[in-house]
Amino acid sequence: MSLNNELINNKISQLHVCVIIPTYNNQHTLKRVLDGVLELTNNIIIVNDGSTDGTSNILKEYQHLQQFHFPENRGKGVALKEGFKHAISLDYQFAITIDSDGQHFPNDIPHFINALEQNETKDILIIGSRNMEQEGVPGKSSFGNKFSNFWFWIETGIKLKDTQSGFRLYPLNVIKNLKLYTTKFELEIEVIVKTAWKDVEVKNMPIQVLYDESERVSHFRPFKDFTRISILNTWLVFLTFIYYFPRRLIRNIKKKGLKRFLAEDLLGSNDSPKKKALSIALGVFIGFSPLWGLQTILVISLAIFLKLNKTIAFAFSNVSLPPFIPFIVIASLELGQLVLGEKISYSIEEMMENFEAIEHLKTYLVGSFTLAIIGAAVFGSIGYFFFTFFNKKHVALKND
């Protein structure tokens, strides 16, 4: 072991890091990966996920390492969870995962260790970022990665260059408290999203990558696995809109107090008065529109798509909180009559008791969207003048 490798070996031990290697039918590359990792550490956990090739014979040469053998293939997600479980039982605090198909270079492990050492809080998940533009990268891998990056951004607000690389460093103190349900390749997405939701830093770090089709065996099934990943992302996006984002907003308000939250997150935002005003207008429009049950999903989706302030848009979409709904419905009916030039008969008392039972649907819908447009214009305009005035006043105070 060279002096540099010995130094890394010591750091790995001091930081309580292990290397987990899940493998399935990678007999051509497994030995090279194992030998490369062994140059840096013996803290290795191998999970043989039911291989049917010569993997078992190769692993007989490494009986001094921690090994688990599944009698049949159960999926990469299950293999990783088994590795995490055993690493935690051995009191490791971090786990580096590396694929056994030869695309990763074990000599990149020191970069993970140095990045971990430099991180003060040690609450960090690092994903190796591959150069997906280099020659030899399969088109399906590049597309799948871009697809995954986009949904990770939607779900967490974090922009990454690579969310699918299996070369990662995980904080096991966080992993042990996560409820993970998936069993295949999609587990790697589930883990990073739920880790980010725990307010743990998730970041990329450049790594080398090799796609040698003459010896590399990929077990990613484009249709089946892409479908599973899509289903997972659909569920995570749903949770983001109905739980994660509102929870984060409420926690932020509780942590800072309403006055400080308004000052820092709304008034003190670096967004321009125009952008803030448009965010208010969007929130009010969605809040007043007859899209009950979909407002949160729509307002956050549109705020992201239109690159507006998600916090402001979501906050103002709550003009349709349950206590206000009967009054919004009544105002919509009155406006609908005005726009259509017709007169309908309804009881306010009955509407207050059962405002969902709307007999005059056309009148309500026309009035509702009219109210949404007027409300968006009024609140947006007021917001624009307010934020413009506030910004000028803030600048004047700074200059005094």
With beta carbons less than 8 A apart as the criterion, state whether 120 and 42 touch.
no
Same domain, 292 and 333: yes
In a domain, 110, yes or no: yes
Mean pLDDT of the chain: 85
> What is the pLDDT confidence band of residue 290, given thresholds at 50, 70 and 90?
confident
Same domain, 315 and 236: no
Same domain, 233 and 264: no
> What is the pLDDT confidence band of residue 310, given thresholds at 50, 70 and 90?
confident
In a domain, 128, yes or no: yes
In this structure, what CATH number is given to the domain that contains residue 71? 3.90.550.10
- What is the predicted pLDDT for the residue at 269? 65
Of 192, 212, 241, which residue is a domain's last?
A: 241
In a domain, 81, yes or no: yes
Report d(CA 160, CA 171) in Å as an integer: 18
Where do we find the tokens 């077990």?
219
- What is the predicted pLDDT for the residue at 262? 66
Angle at 308 between CA 302 and CA 314, to 5 degrees: 65
Number of neighbours of residue 365 by Cβ within 10 angstroms:
15
In a domain, 274, yes or no: yes
Nearest to 45 by CA among 107, 1, 89, 110: 89
Same domain, 166 and 285: no
- What is the predicted pLDDT for the residue at 43? 97
Of 241, 271, 302, which residue is a domain's last?
A: 241
Report d(CA 335, CA 330) in Å as an integer: 9
346 pLDDT above the threshold of 80: no
- What is the predicted pLDDT for the residue at 215? 61
398 pLDDT above the threshold of 70: no
- What is the predicted pLDDT for the residue at 8? 94
In a domain, 189, yes or no: yes
Report d(CA 385, CA 388) in Å as an integer: 5
Where do we find the tokens 């709304």?
266
Residue 281 phi, psi (nearest 5): -60, -45
Same domain, 178 and 295: no
Pairing of strands 168-171, 124-129: antiparallel
Summarised one tens digit per residue, pLDDT across range 224-253 is 777 888 888 888 888 887 888 788 778 877
Same domain, 190 and 308: no
Report d(CA 180, CA 174) in Å as an integer: 12
Domain enclosing residue 60, as ranges? 3-241
Same domain, 206 and 160: yes
Of 241, 268, 290, which residue is a domain's last?
A: 241
With beta carbons less than 8 A apart as the criterion, state whether 132 and 145 touch.
yes
How far CA 139 is from CA of 133, 135, 136, 211, 288, in Å, comes to: 10, 10, 9, 12, 44
49 pLDDT above the threshold of 80: yes
> What is the pLDDT confidence band of residue 26, given thresholds at 50, 70 and 90?
very high
94 pLDDT above the threshold of 90: yes
Same domain, 321 and 371: yes
Summarised one tens digit per residue, pLDDT across range 136-190 is 566 556 677 888 888 898 888 888 999 999 999 999 999 999 999 999 989 999 9
Same domain, 219 and 263: no
Same domain, 221 and 139: yes
For residues 293-299, give the mean pLDDT.
79
- What is the predicted pLDDT for the residue at 255? 81
Percent of the chain whose pLDDT exceeds 70? 85
For residues 180-203, give the mean pLDDT.
94
Report d(CA 132, CA 114) in Å as an integer: 24
In a domain, 250, yes or no: no
Same domain, 26 and 170: yes
285 pLDDT above the threshold of 90: yes
For residue 259 the two structure tokens come to: 């006055």
> What is the pLDDT confidence band of residue 357, given thresholds at 50, 70 and 90?
very low
Same domain, 280 and 195: no
In a domain, 100, yes or no: yes
The count of structural domains within the chain is 2
In a domain, 247, yes or no: no
